[in-house]
Structure 1
């Protein structure tokens, strides 16, 4: 009865962290424990060294988005590939993925980079509907690429729920590369098909040399950070420190595109995002402990096992569930709510937790642009002053290719597990 009351309160606008927190406190009380113990979860997650990476990567991403970096990257793309029919759309997808990977927020990519790419695509001759769909769906790309915040957050949650499974953030970073490239490749293939009859861009393109020099400070960053992680020279936290320091020096001290007076607002924006994530994460971990103590995952497994007789049937049901969840919840909230419930059931069905993480994120990424309530759809409609039905129709072809890639990712575990070396 109390859960029904909480659900009604949520529907009437009670903040998500309050709903989860009340559920955790009620769970402790019903289990005969002290509800104050729910607050101890914040101390426990605060002791996780890797958690420091979240605010640092977020700060760097928001600072980049508020600088002139997106415009300089678009100019570089036009300089290098403006001559190639279809090249601007393909490289636009790459820029979207890079931006979302570093900011951790698809909405920032829609607003900051999409508003630059849409006019460029239209000038290059791409149809209005295709361009709108590319910007809306393409801005969700990057969730599977390091140093994506959802990848880090899933690893944190999974390490707490299944500590004996050896789930490392580095494994998630590697596991997302090939599935992410598959999604990008299918969408790029569609872009090439649509752009096959377009003439090369006639508008004067920026010179290559000055365009390269313009991004001389930003261009090495992905190679330094990701090369340091994969090469074993940097831990994830150290890579986050390098990223934040590099961006801070570049944007504030060298380029002076964000003044010291504005730096406080950028920090506040980034920390509000992280604060919301951590509050939900803390209460979610408290709820998870109660559910584990009261054997909720085991009972859920026993309830669904007669209906889902194989791991593949479980994955089909999981994909449908996560696509629906991804339409309604922010990716961070969906992760901390659903992952603790689903992970024990997936392990019981023999699903590798790293493969599960990629399936989770691929679904939630697609949910960003899935009608009727995907958040990217509304952001694009508002930002580009276009009615929502037009945005729906524009994203459908891209959504179809993303769903094809989701099927491949789900049924081909080696695509996710080969690079981390977790194949049996």
Structure 2
């Protein structure tokens, strides 16, 4: 108990997360007379996970896209195709943010990369300031459910290593996120339409649409390369990541020439710093997971929960509340490696499918990014747009309730998540 309090105190004082997890695992193994080399062995096990190759490759590709003018071309294309709809620019913003977040895996990058483009465009088009701020702040986290989202891949890696519940593939997880992600986009688009149908429309012209398509012609094949290659069986996920990275590198550096060769090391450094942090946390968390399994922590926790919660419905309600709070406190990658080893055995014990749990987890964490008082996106948007936090709280509130409704639908309608994968 004393050790747990010391570790908690160290965490509150700002000690790096990987050090806290590693210390907990080392102390646990030491107290049980287990050779501490087991921690090093868990790190070595990472080299046997071919799927992990996809994480640095997709991250590097996402950073390359965000550093180029790809977000501008994406905005022009979606606006040319959807701008004629009432609330069309808002729908354009939602779509563009979701696509960029899917590739970068980081909502903060999306707010910074697209915020300077979207916010002035929305204000110039007559959208209310609070609506515009709320839209950009919340849509920064959209896309976490769409392939090739890094949190989706990381959840799959952790769950597969635990061997709890039925086995599943990363491809199945990618399919499972499509319909829930589209549900969120549709509900937010409906809200955007209802709030802004009085605004003047942008007339659709074939010339502008063709010019926008032609300008983005080299980037348009990307989703088809990733999803088409994976679901056709032609690529494994790691192979699709390699092809995607090579393709983006050629397009942005050699064809568009928007990224100079001398800038590549700096972009690579920023991307790999993020990847390195994820892999270090993942390595020590696998060791920590093994200790918890040996100590039967999930079993004891499940027994405790079972005493107080009798039905799956009640468990899912409690799970949603817990994950919403967790999303405001922890980064999504940290939350995955810490909580999935504990939650997955309990959820399976209540009859929740592991793939369904992954989508529920990420959907809740997605909302946690902008849940008051300390959602990370709120701070990023406040700094980026120089607006007070209280204004951002008010601005994001309608979007919060809409996405909360979508989370409830995702949670209590498993077929929405599992339907596509069951057709394979």
Normalised by the length of structure 1, the TM-score is 0.97
- Per the alignment, residue 337 of structure 1 pairs with 338
Q: What residue in structure 2 maps to residue 346 of structure 1?
A: 347
2:116 aligned partner: 115
Secondary structure of the structure 2 residue equivalent to 1:216: coil
Match of 2:211 in 1: 210
Closer, same or farther in 2 for the Cα pair 1:164/1:81, shift >3 Å? closer
Cα deviation, residue 36, structure 1: 2.7
Q: Alpha carbon RMSD of aligned pairs, Å?
A: 1.7
Question: What is the rounded CA distance, in whole Å, between the counterparts of 2:116 and 2:57 in structure 1?
Answer: 26
Alignment match, 1:313: 314
Unmatched segments (≥5 aa) in structure 1: none
CA shift at 1:163, angstroms? 5.7
C-alpha change, 1:422 and 1:226, in structure 2 (3 Å) is: closer
Secondary structure of 1:102's match?
Answer: helix
What secondary structure does 1:19 align onto? helix
Shift, 1:210, TM fit: 2.2
In 2, the alpha carbon distance for the partners of 1:21 and 1:206 equals: 58
Cα distance in 2 for partners of 1:199, 1:164 equals 52
Aligned-pair CA distance for 1:201 = 4.0
Counterpart in the other structure of 1:225? 226
SS at 1:146's partner residue? coil
Q: Secondary structure at the match of 2:421?
A: coil
CA contact (8 A) 2:309 2:315 kept: yes
Contact 2:164–2:345 under 8 Å retained in 1: no
Tell me the equivalent position of 1:189.
Answer: 190
Q: Distance in 2 between matches of 1:87 and 1:200?
A: 8
1:133 is matched with which residue? 134
Aligned positions, number: 423
CA–CA distance in structure 1, aligned partners of residues 183 and 350 of structure 2: 26
> How far, CA to CA, are the matches of 1:246 and 1:396 in structure 2?
39
Give how far 1:77 is off. 2.5
**Which position in structure 1 is the counterpart of 2:25?**
24
Q: Is the 8 A contact 2:94 2:185 kept in 1?
A: yes
Q: Which residue of 2 aligns with 1:158?
A: 159
Query: What SS class does the counterpart of residue 420 from structure 1 fall into?
Result: helix
> In 1, Cα distance between the equivalents of 2:86 and 2:161?
48
| CA apart distance, 1:159 | 0.3
Provide the residue aligned with 2:421 in structure 1.
Answer: 420
Return the alpha-carbon distance in structure 1 between the equivalents of residues 404 and 310 of structure 2. 24
Aligned match of 1:97: 98
TM-score computed with the length of structure 2 as normaliser? 0.97
Larger mean CA deviation between 225-234 and 2-11 belongs to 225-234
Shift of residue 83, structure 1, vs aligned partner: 2.9
Cα offset for 1:155? 0.2
Deviations 1:2-56 (A, max 9, x none): 0110100110110111101101111111121022311211111221011100000
